[in-house]
Amino acid sequence: MRQFSGTKTEIKMKKLILYSLLLFSKIVFCQSVDNDEKYFKFQYDTIVEKTFVLDLEKLFDKTQINELDSLTAEFEKETSIEIAIVTFDDKYDSDEDFHQNTLFVAKWIGIGKEELNNGILIGISKKSKKIRIENGDGIVAILTDEETKSIIDNSFIPNFKEKRYFEGTKEGLKKIIEHLKIKIKK
């Protein structure tokens, strides 16, 4: 994943830009093909509060967003690991599109610290019935793809099948955090 780099002032500016992205509530993903590679343009129109949660699909209410954001912010302060949660609308109609979109957003936002490459992006689409977790290279050593899949299968999916999207997201997020805390202490 692309990470923040530069002086402390430059990093603060980059984070301000990241947070500005997350401050906008309506984002339209415009898809184009250039040399068989998809890219996106973002259009912004309404500012909302700073958060690690960008709920484009409107799965969560304000209280739920605040709760998820608190969990991610506290964990980031404790460990420097940044976790972002993005819900996508139904514009992503194939597995490949959803995968490319989550990977693009993870790289574009630059979640995590550059020198540690320790960001995680949780991408969710209720309408497309998809979830994907993108782990930075620094995370893969302590949260493998197999462990990530297990958390998705055992925490997110059972709740999502019952239409409990907040509960599933919160439970999955807590399992990720719990797992990482145990591995970091070792």
> Which residues are paired to 53 by β-bridges?
85
- Number of helices (H), then strands (E), belonging to the chain: the values are 7, 6
At position 115, the amino acid (one-letter code) is E
pLDDT at 13 exceeding the cut of 70: no
Which tens digits make up the pLDDT trace of 171-180?
999 999 999 9
Least confident of 5-14, 28-37, 85-94: 28-37
CB-CB neighbours of 151 under 10 Å: 22
C-alpha–C-alpha distance, residues 39 and 66, integer Å:
30
C-alpha–C-alpha distance, residues 180 and 130, integer Å:
23
pTM of the complete model beyond 0.75: no
Mean pLDDT across the chain: 76
C-alpha–C-alpha distance, residues 12 and 16, integer Å:
6
Which tens digits make up the pLDDT trace of 118-138?
899 999 988 888 999 999 889
